[in-house]
A and B are shown apart, each in its own frame.
Chain A
Amino acid sequence: MPMNNASPVRALAKRYAENLLERRAYVVARRQLIDAIVAGHTAWGEEEVRALPAPPVVPTMCTLGEFDSTLELPRPPGTARDQNGRGWWLVLGLTLSMLGVAFWLWKELP
């Protein structure tokens, strides 16, 4: 028996269930999506739902407290320094590789 599991409305609900959307954003996006489908502005049919783009995430008004808790996530100590360190090692490796290739070309080429 066929199952129904790929519509954009359901995909939106799934993102909310997985905590990828804040509740207010979810409710607003769902309302807009359903209105668009009912008005015929969004393609709808069980054969074509897989081709539909992901439903829009509509930004909503947030309180300052919500911004404080979501925009600035705490980092583990030393993370930024470690990332910079990795970058310098990458540059050094690439430079040495290029020098090696240049030395080989200088020796091998007539």
Chain B
Amino acid sequence: MSSSDPAVRRRTGIAPVSGAFTWSSAAATHVGHVRQINEDAYCARPDIGLWAVADGLGGHSAGDLASQTVVAGLARLRPQPQLSLMVDFIEHSLLASNARLLTLAGDTQTIGSTVIALTVVGDFAAYLWVGDSRLYRYRGGNLRQLSTDHSQVERYIEQGLLLRADAAAHPHGHLLTRAIGARHDLRVDVDLCALQAGDRFLLCSDGLDKHVAPAEIAALLAEGEATAVSAALLDLTLARGAADNVTLCLVDIRHADE
């Protein structure tokens, strides 16, 4: 099965100008080769400069409901004139989704999701995340992971107990330290990034980075239109077994006068 199958949901978009920059984006999601349902979801709103990927927690109840609740809340947001306000609204939406999922779950189950959201206002981007859905930035031939996983393994690395090179094979690799729908006192991480023309942002669920190494992601991000590159990333993941659902959004930043 390749990304050209009808099972692949895909969307592309070109946005209006914001400050000195404009952007185009592509997004795709696939159930993979093992799971029965797709518990990932994405939100692509290039018209307001907002993208998000959410990954419902497998093994818990209604992971698909969780991820869809998160992205539906984000998709309802309106554009804001200031980046700080956009950050406030995105965080508020995620906290509202958290409260909703906790109410739906009751005391006996967990309906949870991770999320990575990216917004562009003016010459800056802000990104907010919970869990291990990731944001990468490809700039000048270098790939950088901008988000830091909220995972037990990442905590071991911070404490000096584990080398990053050994993280992928660690038996606690699946344990998250934060998720939407897990606790009432949710903390959403946030950071900024100054934009440069030529920046390429990749938001993805862990279904992608389980199968595709950073060097391979960098090689594919090096050239090609967003739609073609997202299809190539998806095809490579599917060719390697796609044990989990896989979802990605690719955002290309350009000078407004290009």
Contacts and interface: CB of A to CB of B under 8 A. Distances in A.
A8 B240 CA distance: 39
A17 B187 CA distance: 6
Interface string B102-128: 000000000000000000011110100
B93 to A, nearest CB: 14
Interface in B69-125: 82-85, 87-88, 121-124
A13 B189 contact: yes
Contact of A38 (B82, B142, B143, B145): B82
A47 B227 CA distance: 32
B101 to A, nearest CB: 19
Contacts of B193: 4
- Residue among B123, B147, B148, B192 having the largest count of chain A Cβ atoms under 10 Å: B192
Interface residues of A, number: 21
Interface of B: 82-85, 87-88, 121-124, 126, 142-148, 187-194, 214
Given A31-B85, A31-B88, 17 more contacts: A1-B145, A2-B142, A3-B144, A4-B147, A4-B148, A4-B191, A7-B191, A9-B190, A10-B189, A13-B187, A17-B189, A27-B88, A35-B84, A38-B82, A38-B121, A38-B124, A44-B194
